[in-house]
Amino acid sequence: SDEECDQRIQAAKEKLGERCVILGHHYQRNEVFKHADVSGDSLKLSKYAAESKAEYIVFCGVHFMAEVSDILSRPEQITVLPDLAAGCSMADMANRANVERSWKELNTLINADEQVTPVTYINSAADLKAFCGQHEGIVCTSSNAQQVLEWCFEKREKILFFPDEHLGRNTGYRMGIPLEEMVVWDFNQPMGGLTKEQIENAKMILWKGFCSVHQMFQDNQIDDFKKKNPNAIVVAHPEANFEVCEKADYVGSTEAILKTVREGKANTQWLIATELNLVNRLKEEVKDQGKQVHFMSPTVAMCSTMFRTDPQHLAWVLENLAEGTVVNQIQVNDDDKQMAKKALENMLSLF
Ligand code: 13P
Ligand code: SF4
């Protein structure tokens, strides 16, 4: 049962002491989240993994996050993902073969090697981060995409952004890039389904990828809510589509969403476009300040892969670690690690 797991997790944690740290992403379910020593968005957790002295980093999040932890931590540190099936469907929308092929095709239309910087959202596999490291590119997260894109435009005139079309467009537009100068590269079509002229005129080439959770939020949900609650404040994650982000009062990462609501005016209504577990916890946390938090989607928008991590898996990995056995270690191969680290460090050096 969950109760028994709680006790076993606590006992294993006590046995491991400072040798182990549990990181919890904001989308984790309560039964897991409450055991995290540190919680945060992707950037905060990556930085924590890079600075942690713990021998074991147990990452309650999804696969790409644990890979980042393995890449940034010291070689003798071990990163563990409690359930290996906890992936990210958006990260899976771009893979190395597709990106390599697209890059080659781009090079037949323009001189991509000189004109284009590849940028991968942190929600991507390690070999894509390595691709960026090899091509003088960079990684971004939802909390630093703008600074990262500014860094890119200082060097080259165009960006190939993957895998999330929406984060790319939302960030580019807020930086003043007109929509016509952002084109969508459909990797299922030859030359991304674009003409040479479209590529030449584009500042941003956006990979056709999206988050299955955030795509559920639609701008008419904002209109309907505002009709009944005209003073409501709308907050969205930048993985939501362009129309939602344009109508939102604030757009930011999971950590920024929490900060905005926590520090916002008391006795207010909030409409939030991000994952359900975060929204439910926030709702409870701020209700005593008179803040009413509402989830935007009429249907349940929950990240099913984040949900895979349950107290049973957490208890299992911790008990094994406490007995000296490592299970579910995430290890990026050395070549990808070196190149991916370069792209991640390009990002981290900006802050
Ligand atoms: P954050 O970096 O904002 O936590 O986002 C990660 C993520 O997967 C959102 O869907
Ligand atoms: Fe991936 Fe979307 Fe889940 Fe975030 S919410 S981990 S982007 S599937």
CA of 314: how far to CAs of 6, 46, 120, 204, 213, in Å?
Answer: 9, 20, 29, 41, 24
Domain 2-86+306-333 has CATH 2.40.240.20: no
CA-closest residue to ligand 2 atom 6: 88
Are 245 and 251 in contact by the 8 Å Cβ rule? The answer is yes
Greater confidence (2 vs 119) lies with 119
pLDDT mean across residues, the chain: 97
Residue 291 — very low, low, confident or very high, per pLDDT cuts 50/70/90? very high
**Per-residue pLDDT tens over the stretch 270-281:** 999 999 999 999
**Per-residue pLDDT tens over the stretch 105-145:** 999 999 999 999 999 999 999 999 999 999 999 999 999 99
Give me the mean pLDDT over the 261-290 stretch: 97
Ligand 2 center–CA 97 separation, angstroms: 22
Residue 106 sits at φ, ψ, to 5 deg, of -60, -40
CATH of 214-295 among 3.40.50.10800, 2.40.340.10, 3.30.70.250, 3.90.1150.10? 3.40.50.10800
Reply yes or no on whether the pLDDT at 298 is more than 80: no
CB distance 211 to ligand 2 below 6 Å: yes
d(CA 66, CA 95): 18
**Residue 202 DSSP label:** -
Give me the mean pLDDT over the 233-262 stretch: 98
* E strand spans, 26-145: 38-40, 56-60, 78-80, 116-121, 138-140
Tell me if the pTM is above 0.95.
Answer: yes
CA of 303, closest atom in ligand 2: 3
**Which CATH superfamily does the domain covering 91-211 fall into?**
NadA-like (3.40.50.10800)
CB distance 254 to ligand 2 below 6 Å: no
CB distance 123 to ligand 1 below 6 Å: yes
Give me the mean pLDDT over the 64-70 stretch: 98
Fold matches, 91-211 and 214-295: yes
Ligand found nearest the CA of 42: 1
Binding-site residues for [4Fe-4S] cluster, in ranges, read 88, 211, 303
d(CA 162, CA 64): 14
Provide ipTM, 2 decimals: 0.98
Residue 351 — very low, low, confident or very high, per pLDDT cuts 50/70/90? confident
Binding-site residues for iminosuccinate, in ranges, read 25, 42, 121-123, 142, 237-239, 254
